[in-house]
Amino acid sequence: MSCEKEFVKKVIPGVKNIIIVASGKGGVGKSTVAATLATSLVMQGYSTGLLDADIYGPSLPVLFDIQESRPIVIEEAGVTKIEPIIRLGIKLMSIGLFIDPVKAAIWRGPLAASGMKQMIDQTEWGELDYLIIDTPPGTGDIHISLLQEYNIGGVIIVTTPQTLSTGDVQKAISLYSETKIGVPVLGVIENMSWFTPEKHPEEKYFLFGKGGGESLAKRFNVELLAQIPLNEKICEECDYGKLLAVLESKGIKDTFANIIKKINQELPV
């Protein structure tokens, strides 16, 4: 007799593909990648939503400069519906729009997971080609709930080149590749791969080591989707809600166009 549980994975009506952006580690650029990816998808004409599932450290309100926005909540015949905030054409939802992140930071795992599920289920996403979910660091309740309960199209793993970072990230890839609840790993994005000074565009400084993303991809037999350089502008501009300015850089724009091409091959709409 088998005691393994079968998981019935929920499909969100109208949403064609859900993509998780994850990493074992914080500060590697998950939120930056998730937000830039969502913006690039919309610029290419895909209807896109972005859910910030980082209950403990939501960054979407800052990235899109919507800290003061409050989503409209409608109660209808005992059913709660939440209108997403729309910026740059992206349907956005974040726990950071409802509660003080300091309060959320003390939520225990199960409460955090149920908060995340409410946001997914109650938001009026409408018709979406892609719903991107930005996740907290680690491999906790939020990640496991997402995998057990929703029909996820694939996961993109973000890492920096250091061994330590890739070591943590290996745990995350192992979770996502798990046979029972795992989902396709669409590939690895190595962020902060090198630094190129503006005045010396031919030079590359590998400040955080070299080759971590590539060796990680090889080890798990997945694709290295992109290497994104460390860029002073990304840091400044994302802090001020100016993602469009980031995508004015031809290098970044092309990098994300390439990532979308690969996503689109795996998860067509």
Binding residues for ligand ADP (CB under 6 A):
23, 26-32, 59, 191-192, 228, 230-231, 234-235, 238
d(CA 188, CA 160): 10
Residue among 25 and 129 whose Cβ is closer to ligand ADP: 25
For 74, the token pair is 């409608």
Cβ pair 211, 174 in contact under 8 A: no
Cβ pair 48, 90 in contact under 8 A: yes
Residue among 17 and 135 whose Cβ is closer to ligand ADP: 135
Cβ at position 158, least distance to ligand ADP in Å: 6
Residue 231 binding result from ligand ADP, Mg ion, none, given CB thresholds of 5 to 8 Å by partner type? ligand ADP
Residue among 171 and 219 whose Cβ is closer to Mg ion: 171
d(CA 261, CA 268): 10
Cβ at position 25, least distance to ligand ADP in Å: 7
Task: Give the residue among 167, 158, 143, 164 at the shortest CA–CA distance from 188.
Answer: 158
List Cα–Cα distances, 212 to 158, 162, 165, 207, 223, in angstroms.
11, 6, 8, 12, 13
Question: Does residue 31 interact with Mg ion by CB under 5 A?
Answer: yes
Q: Which range binds Mg ion by CB under 5 A, 1-9, 29-37, 181-189, 256-264?
A: 29-37
For 73, the token pair is 């909540």
Cβ at position 45, least distance to ligand ADP in Å: 25
Residue among 129 and 216 whose Cβ is closer to ligand ADP: 216
What φ, ψ does residue 166 adopt, rounded to 5°? -70, -30
Residue among 74 and 164 whose Cβ is closer to ligand ADP: 164
DSSP 97: G
Q: Which of 36, 48, 59, 94 binds Mg ion (CB under 5 A)?
A: 59
Residue 192 binding result from Mg ion, ligand ADP, none, given CB thresholds of 5 to 8 Å by partner type? ligand ADP
Residue 183 binding result from Mg ion, ligand ADP, none, given CB thresholds of 5 to 8 Å by partner type? none
Beta bridge partners of 82: 73, 123
Cβ pair 134, 52 in contact under 8 A: yes
Sequence-distant (6+) residues with CB within 8 A of 64 are: 35, 85, 87, 88, 90, 92, 241, 243
Residue among 87 and 129 whose Cβ is closer to ligand ADP: 87
Cβ at position 232, least distance to ligand ADP in Å: 7
Residue among 162 and 191 whose Cβ is closer to ligand ADP: 191
Residue 230 binding result from Mg ion, ligand ADP, none, given CB thresholds of 5 to 8 Å by partner type? ligand ADP
Residues engaged in binding Mg ion (CB under 5 A): 30-31, 54, 59
